[in-house]
Amino acid sequence: MAEENGQSRRYPQNLQGLLQLAVDAGSATEEPAPAEPMSEERKAWLREALADVAKGQMDEVEQMKTCLAVLNQEGKGEVELDEDDDEAKESAFEMLSELCENLDNARDLMVLGGLELCVSRYLSHSQSGLRWRAAELIASCAQNMPQLQTHLLGIGTLPKLLQLTDSDPHPTVRVKALYALSCLVREQEAGLQAFLSHDGFSVLMRGMQSENEKLRTKSAFLLLNLLTSHPEHKDTVVSMGMVQQLVSVLRTPHSQFHEHVVGTLCCLVEDCPQGLRDCRDPALGLEELLKQRSVELRGKEENEEELEFCKHLRSMCFQRQQSDDNGMDR
């Protein structure tokens, strides 16, 4: 029976078979198995499976080269032909985005010059469908890849993404550009410094004030993430009038992204005296706003976290203030 479950089992000679072999080897027994010499048949199977994996990787590089050849083509000057070209280019971008979910492929795309092409030509393309697909590809490549993040920063990607996020007329382009932007600045010190030097916090603030729900949500989330990860920048955003702007956003019709807005205010009053003073300013009317919002959210399961943020912010700003005032009276 052990022999039947072991070396006699036939596996497909491809990547799936190789992965199945690894899974079976790891789960066959909890006890350490005695070392046995690998049969010649197993050695031959393993060599062929690994060769197939390497061949598959080479095939993917060829696919990327084909996509880049399509993207490198210039327009023909005739409307119908250019429309066909744009459709082909959109398909090429979609294939590249799928291929570059593999980190090795993303690195190969950089070596092949694909990222420079995205940044230099397609982030500023006249067709919105190509602009947002270029931004999406940049995001796919930059995620968790410091080498590619550094490369993208070095070829001037971040200012272009900020501009698209801030002012592109097409809503999908703005959302995808912000997604790519977040991949360059989160957990990336050089990216954060470039973001600061180009007034990135103001871009996020304007994003939260836009009519695009996805852009508002993602802008608020990124702002909260950056201030939580880098509290040293709280004073900078407070000096920009961020507290007043965030409270103004909270006064708009309620939306799910308000959870991130209240969370950001909580962040700005912790260990930030000016942020606390700004929130306590009677002219803002924040205490009454938080009371009203808490009543509206009570009993709504989907808003539990926002409700907790409201309670926490009230406690830090106003209940503590009452205690301080009482202490001074005594």
Q: Give the span between the Cα atoms of 21 and 16, in whole angstroms.
A: 9
Model pLDDT, residue 327? 47
Q: Which fold has domain 88-198?
A: Leucine-rich Repeat Variant (1.25.10)
Tell me which range, 48-52, 81-85, 248-252, is most confidently predicted by mean pLDDT: 248-252
Q: Which of 143-147, 217-221, 270-274, 302-306 has the lowest mean pLDDT?
A: 143-147
- CA distance readout (Å), 323 to 24, 318, 328: 63, 9, 9
What does the pLDDT average to over 241-257?
95
Closest CA relative to residue 246, chosen from 205, 299, 274: 205
Counting Cα atoms < 13 Å in the Cβ hemisphere of 126 gives: 4
CATH 1.25.10.10 residue ranges of the chain are: 88-198, 200-319
How does the average pLDDT of the chain come out, rounded?
85
CA dihedral (133, 139, 142, 144) positive or negative = negative
Q: Give the span between the Cα atoms of 237 and 218, in whole angstroms.
A: 18
Q: Give the span between the Cα atoms of 259 and 264, in whole angstroms.
A: 9
DSSP character at residue 330 = -
Q: Which residues of 140-167 are buried (b: 16+ CB within 10 A; e: fewer)?
A: bbbbebeebbebbbeeebbebbbebbbe
Condensed to tens digits (0 to 9), the pLDDT of residues 257-297 reads 999 999 999 999 999 999 999 999 999 999 999 999 999 99
Model pLDDT, residue 265? 97
CATH code given to domain 200-319: 1.25.10.10
Instruction: Kindly tell me if the per-residue pLDDT of 306 is higher than 50.
Output: yes
What does the pLDDT average to over 63-86?
76
Q: Give the span between the Cα atoms of 56 and 130, in whole angstroms.
A: 28
Extract the tokens encoding 36.
């046995």
Extract the tokens encoding 185.
């600045």
The residue written with tokens 């009570």 in the block is 298
